[in-house]
Amino acid sequence: MFGFLLFVTSIIYGIIQPAHQSTYPRNVTYAAHLMGYNQKFEQPPWPVPGNQFIIPRWIHKDGLAFTNAVHYRHGRLTVSADGLYFVYSHVSFTESSSSRDDNTDSNSLSHYLYRYNIMYPNGGEEMLLMNSFNTCSANNEQAEYSSYLGALFKLRNGDELFVKVSNLTLLVTNSKINTFGYFKIGDST
Ligand SMILES: *[C@@H]1O[C@H](CO)[C@@H](O)[C@H](O)[C@H]1NC(C)=O
Ligand SMILES: *[C@@H]1O[C@H](CO)[C@@H](O)[C@H](O)[C@H]1NC(C)=O
């Protein structure tokens, strides 16, 4: 039902606003910089495919965080003009040896950048970048692991961007360590 509504909404949106046009003036700067939410996230109790959890919340209009000519909602940035964009995200995980579960394969951590648009195949969700690494099992008290993703992409008006990680509860809660943002650097043609 929700999926259907979303679909209908997309069609209506498509009619009102042709896919390749932006409602913003040509000289606007399309950019956003989001900062890490400063509270621990709860891992959803239900199984999630591939152990990939979307970071559900970012600070988007406080301090250094801003969105300019881009829509932010539920952890997602929606592109509002076709173009060539630089997209980036940095996250850090912190793990103590006592919290590590040695009986599972949870000694690897991953960081993903995704886009969603109903027009793309396989349900519309596409992985753009990923980084994966093993956490070492030395007996250090506390270890911190960082990951940075950043690259250029041709994005479309309506593309939604979001970040996923393999373990939400291990994310540090520092708004300047975890970041997610983008800026338009040119037209896609
Ligand atoms: C963008 O262009 C409009 C119309 O030409 C102008 O009024 C506005 O000041 C410009 N904005 C910037 C940030 O240059
Ligand atoms: C996330 O990490 C915590 C602490 O190490 C662990 O208990 C939990 O099982 C992990 N969750 C997943 C989905 O790997």
Domain locations along the chain: 30-186
Q: Once rounded to an integer, what is the mean pLDDT over residues 147-161?
A: 97
Question: CA 58, CA 180: separation in Å to the nearest integer?
Answer: 8
Question: CA 166, CA 156: separation in Å to the nearest integer?
Answer: 27
Question: Which two structure tokens, joined as six digits, stand for 62?
Answer: 């406080």
Is residue 164 a contact partner of residue 58, using CB atoms and an 8 Å limit? no
The residue behind tokens 């996250």 is: 91
Atom of ligand 1 lying closest to residue 29 CA = 13
Q: Counting ligands in written order, which one lies closest to the CA of residue 27?
A: 1
Ligand 2 binding pocket mutation candidate from 170, 171, 172 (most atoms within 8 A of CB) = 170
Q: Counting ligands in written order, which one lies closest to the CA of residue 28?
A: 1
Confidence of residue 27 (pLDDT cuts 50, 70, 90): confident
pLDDT in tens, 73-104: 999 999 999 999 999 999 999 987 666 655 55
Backbone angles phi, psi at 59, to 5 degrees: -75, 125
30-186: what fold? Jelly Rolls (2.60.120)
Is residue 142 a contact partner of residue 96, using CB atoms and an 8 Å limit? yes
Give the lowest-confidence range in 35-49, 50-64, 129-143, 169-183.
129-143
- Give the predicted TM-score (pTM) of the model: 0.83
Residue 24 has pLDDT above 90, yes or no: no
Q: Is 156 exposed, middle or buried (0-12, 13-18, 19+ CB in 10 A)?
A: middle
